[in-house]
Amino acid sequence: MKQYLLSVYQPDGPPPDSQTLEKIMRDVRALREEMKAAGAWVFTAGLHPPSTATVVRVNGAKPMMTDGPFAEGKEHIGGFSIIRAADLDAALEWGARLARATTLPIEVRPIHEEREG
Amino acid sequence: MSEAAPAEIERVFRRECGRAVSVLVRMLGDIDLAEEAVQDAFTAASERWPAEGLPPSPAGWIIATARNRAIDRFRRESSRNERHAEAVRLYPIEAGASAEQTEDAVADDRLRLIFTCCHPALAPTAQVALTLRLLAGLTTGEIARAFLVPEATMAQRIVRAKGKIRDAGIPYRVPSENELADRVDAVLAVIYLLFNEGYTASSGAHLVRDELCAEAIRLGRLLVELLPNEPEPLGLLALMLLVESRRPARLDENGRMVRLADQNRALWKRDLVDEGQRLVRRCLRRNQPGVYQLQAAINAVHSDAASPVETDWPQILQLYDQLHAIAPGPVIALNRAVALAEVEGPRAALTIVDALALDRFHLWHAVRADLLRRLGRPSEATSAYGAAIGLCENDAERDFLSAQRQTLGAS
């Protein structure tokens, strides 16, 4: 089994109205339960908005900090899930279902496998 | 067995390379290892075949040799790979299997590899490059030349695509029933792109790059053989054969493009016309029309006419109506308008053409120019030809349009 990172790309700005948001949360929770039942779910996290992010760089000895997310843009990662899947097709299927639930684009990216021995 | 010349060996290898790589990818679970093993087998063949002649089944020989070389290589490269070698030994090919069973298994492997190469998670350019490399056995240099990009660029594209297949876990299997239709469409799109790239090189001095058309037709035949129950592969093969049949008539002695109406139909390759029309009839009997089948049918009607005036335009128009119904789009609407001009006259066609938002497309201007010429509006036709020439990227097509514009000035 391989592991995949499913990143949710969220447009910056105010969240959708509470009714829409409630439905999205409901759908996302239901999907997570399904992932768990299928043995595919590993981890999920939702993130605070990009305005709360800080980028740290080390230049010489001293860490330098910049306020805001690493990449400038109109969309940022709003949350992510890690799943277990047999292959990319299976991962893309979960990705498509997450895209439907969140109504947002999902980036599906394989996680490096630890080399054995 | 007689001696085999190096050119003969290379030809056989090119032909059998796709089969061998497909089988080895299944055995080894890795495209790079499979390619290496097949390359090793090629080296072995170049050493042995010149003196010993071709073996009775070159494909079987290549596969068995590549498999043994892969095992040797694993053993040499230390025990870390012992598991791999074990895995390869689990796939004995010859023992107990009839030639027919082996052939069936190879067919399945090739089908798997086609779907891997044409996976929608890969960019279309990567799909095309991988298909040419792994199934058609073209070298990276040949593919780069065919697409007019530097070899390093193409090499990078192929390495990146193979890396994605490996690391992202793009599966090596035939898609399940419920996704098959969509996935077959992706494969057909790659083959048709290949054919068109060969038939009307989108840029450059040569109108036709023969070898790409030949590879596309070869892959089309393969897909028909591997998916006999799917109607659209048959339609695509018929379409390619009918278009290809006109190649000898497509350029004049000066290398200038000759349009369909002006072609010397005696030059058309009769055997390809016959085969294409036979396939179209088979499609019609199945009655599951699709985009490629309808385009093939339209071309079959053209091929039926001994001279342009004998063309059954009402039937062509009807086929375009069907095509536009299942695949609505401005380019098909433009082609339909060309047929409409023949049935109802240029005025009706021009009304439709003018309503299409295709002014970035050189053929839209070319069609307009022709209709305006026929309506006796030469100055508008001249400027339309000018716009078409400005947007056209193929030298031969551009020459043709310039010549058309000139006749306008002369009349």
pLDDT tens digits along B232-242: 999 999 999 99
- Interface contact A110-B171, CB threshold 8 A: no
Residue B213 and residue B195 in contact, taking contact as beta carbons nearer than 8 Å: yes
CA distance B392 to B305: 29
Lowest-confidence pick of A72-76, A98-102, B71-75, B83-87: B83-87
Residue B90 has pLDDT above 60, yes or no: no
**What's the average model confidence in pLDDT over B277-282?**
96
Residue B252 has pLDDT above 90, yes or no: no
Q: What is the pLDDT of residue B53?
A: 87
Distance (Å) from the alpha carbon of B182 to chain A's nearest alpha carbon = 14
A40 touches chain B (CB under 8 A): no
Higher pLDDT, B355 or B108: B355
Residue B178 has pLDDT above 50, yes or no: yes
Q: What is the pLDDT of residue B96?
A: 46
Higher pLDDT, A39 or B100: A39
B323 touches chain A (CB under 8 A): no
Work out the burial of residue B185: count CB atoms within 10 Å of its CB; fewer than 13 is exposed, 13-18 middle, 19 or more buried.
middle
Residue B161 and residue B167 in contact, taking contact as beta carbons nearer than 8 Å: no
Q: Which of residues 50-109 of A touch B (CB under 8 A)?
A: 85-89, 91-92, 108-109
Q: What integer best gives the mean pLDDT of chain B?
A: 87
The whole-model pTM stands at 0.79
pLDDT digits (tens, 9 = 90+) for A50-100: 989 999 999 888 899 999 999 888 999 999 999 999 999 999 999 999 999
Kindly identify which residue of chain A lies nearest to residue B81, measuring between CA atoms. Answer: A117
Higher pLDDT, B245 or B2: B245
Kindly identify which residue of chain B lies nearest to residue A112, measuring between CA atoms. Answer: B167
B168 touches chain A (CB under 8 A): yes
CA distance B282 to B276: 10
**Which of B170, B179, B182 to mutate against chain A (most A CBs within 10 Å)?**
B170
Q: What integer best gives the mean pLDDT of chain A?
A: 93
Highest mean pLDDT among A111-115, B25-29, B367-371: B367-371
Residue B182's pLDDT band, with cuts at 50, 70 and 90, is confident
- Interface contact A87-B169, CB threshold 8 A: yes
- What ipTM score was computed for the predicted complex, to two decimals? 0.86
Residues of chain A found within 8 Å of residue B171, distances taken between Cβ atoms: 86-89
Q: What is the pLDDT of residue B300?
A: 97
Kindly identify which residue of chain B lies nearest to residue A116, measuring between CA atoms. Answer: B80
Residue B317 has pLDDT above 70, yes or no: yes
Kindly identify which residue of chain A lies nearest to residue B171, measuring between CA atoms. Answer: A87
Q: What is the pLDDT of residue B394?
A: 77
pLDDT digits (tens, 9 = 90+) for B319-354: 999 999 999 999 999 999 999 999 999 999 999 999
Secondary structure percentages of chain A, helix, strand, coil, to 5: 30, 40, 30
Residue B99 has pLDDT above 80, yes or no: no
**What's the average model confidence in pLDDT over B117-138?**
90
Percentage of chain B lying above the pLDDT 70 cut: 90
Query: Cβ atoms within 10 A of the Cβ of A39, count?
Result: 10
Half-sphere exposure (CA, 13 Å, Cβ side) for B306? 0
Kindly identify which residue of chain A lies nearest to residue B174, measuring between CA atoms. Answer: A89
- Interface contact A88-B167, CB threshold 8 A: no
Higher pLDDT, A113 or A40: A40
Tell me the one-letter amino acid at B299. Answer: N
Lowest-confidence pick of B191-200, B264-273, B285-294: B191-200
Kindly identify which residue of chain A lies nearest to residue B80, measuring between CA atoms. Answer: A117
Q: What is the pLDDT of residue A15?
A: 85
**What's the average model confidence in pLDDT over B121-145?**
88
Residues of chain B found within 8 Å of residue A88, distances taken between Cβ atoms: 119, 121, 168-171
For residue B388, CA distances in Å to B291, B294, B393 come to: 27, 27, 10
Higher pLDDT, B363 or B73: B363
Q: What is the pLDDT of residue B72?
A: 85
Residue B202 has pLDDT above 50, yes or no: no
pLDDT digits (tens, 9 = 90+) for A18-55: 999 999 999 999 999 999 999 999 999 999 999 899 99
Q: What is the pLDDT of residue B3?
A: 66
Query: Cβ atoms within 10 A of the Cβ of B148, count?
Result: 12
- Interface contact B168-A89, CB threshold 8 A: no
Residue B258 has pLDDT above 80, yes or no: yes
**What's the average model confidence in pLDDT over B54-63?**
88
Q: What is the pLDDT of residue B346?
A: 96
Higher pLDDT, B92 or A35: A35
**What's the average model confidence in pLDDT over B14-25?**
87
Higher pLDDT, B110 or B165: B165
pLDDT digits (tens, 9 = 90+) for B368-411: 999 999 999 999 999 999 999 999 887 778 888 998 899 886 54
- Interface contact B121-A92, CB threshold 8 A: yes
A71-93 burial code (b ≥16 CB/10 A, e <16): eeeeebbbbbbebbbebbbbbbe
Residue B211 has pLDDT above 70, yes or no: yes
Residues of chain A found within 8 Å of residue B169, distances taken between Cβ atoms: 2, 85-88, 91, 110
pLDDT digits (tens, 9 = 90+) for B183-196: 999 899 989 988 88
Tell me the one-letter amino acid at B133. Answer: R
